[in-house]
Amino acid sequence: MLELVDLHAFYGRSHIVQGVSMRVAAGDGVGLVGHNGVGKTTTLRSIMADGPRTEGTITFKGADLTGVPTGARVRRGLGMVPDEEAVFPRMSVEENIRIGALLRGAKMADQALDLAYELFPVLAERRAQPAGTLSGGQQKMLALARGLALRPDLVLVDEPSEGLMPINVELISEALRRAVKAGTGVLVVDSSFDLLRTVCDRVCVMQRGLLTGEYPMAGFAGPDQLVATYLGER
């Protein structure tokens, strides 16, 4: 479904991603792991045409995405849940969920609300509350619920567990696992071993802008082994 071939990404003169090639199919859960600053987020943003200048090929559902703007990529079935500033703070929880769903009509917007509230019932309780007044964990849930409620064919999720309490990591992991089970491709950047184990079949390790290996998630006995892998100690 998604294929990156020799992807390079640049911010100004900085060459962040230096030749990444990978595939994510429908129903795949793939983790992208590595140190801070190795280019994981830039890879996701490149796939969405969200900022960096890119070279190389990004193919989605058989079509080359070169020159295709962000909005058109979304309409083709790609979605992204960014790490920071992912909610509209002065809009209600309900409005936050409806924003993207409105593209596909009022009926889809209602369905998106139902699905989002089913994934995270706490959002239903706070539907009229401005998103900016939610806790950090609830804001992460809102962003993820909205991303999944749009029913993308493939969703890119950046650091969903960062700064969350273990109970919230469990909830978010479960929501992503359900999406994978339902046939959505998930490419997630995260460092939580529990989340990666719940969501992903395999992880791709990134170092200094390059993919240095791809491993089945079942092959890692624990978080230390995973960390050792992306530190290059294994």
Partner 1 sequence: MDAIWVAALNGLVVGASLALVAAGLALLFGVLDILNFAQGDFFMLGAYAVWLILGLGLNFWIGLAVGVVAVGVVGGLTLMLLLWPLRHRSHALMLLATLAISLILEQLATNVFGADSKPVAAPVSGRIPIGHTAYPVYYLLVVAAAAVILLGGYLFLRYAKYGIWLRAVAQNHRMAGLLGVPVVRVYALAFVAGSGLAAVAGSLLAPLTSVYPTLGLDINLDAFVVVIAGGLGNFRGAAVIALALGIVESLGSTWIQGEAVRILVFGLVIVLLIVRAQRGRGAVRV
The residues that touch partner 1, with contacts defined as CB under 8 A, are: 48, 50, 70-71, 74-75, 79-80, 82, 85-91, 95, 98-100, 102-103, 146, 150
Least Å from the CB of residue 12 to partner 1: 13
Nearer to partner 1, 16 or 131 (CB): 131
Q: Are strands 29-33 and 53-60 parallel, antiparallel or unpaired?
A: unpaired
Least Å from the CB of residue 75 to partner 1: 6
C-alpha span between 214 and 47 (Å, rounded): 19
Nearer to partner 1, 102 or 182 (CB): 102
C-alpha span between 232 and 88 (Å, rounded): 39
Least Å from the CB of residue 71 to partner 1: 5
Nearer to partner 1, 50 or 55 (CB): 50
Least Å from the CB of residue 47 to partner 1: 11
Least Å from the CB of residue 101 to partner 1: 9
Nearer to partner 1, 131 or 203 (CB): 131
Locate 22 and state its tokens.
């990978």
Nearer to partner 1, 87 or 226 (CB): 87
Least Å from the CB of residue 27 to partner 1: 23
Nearer to partner 1, 95 or 201 (CB): 95
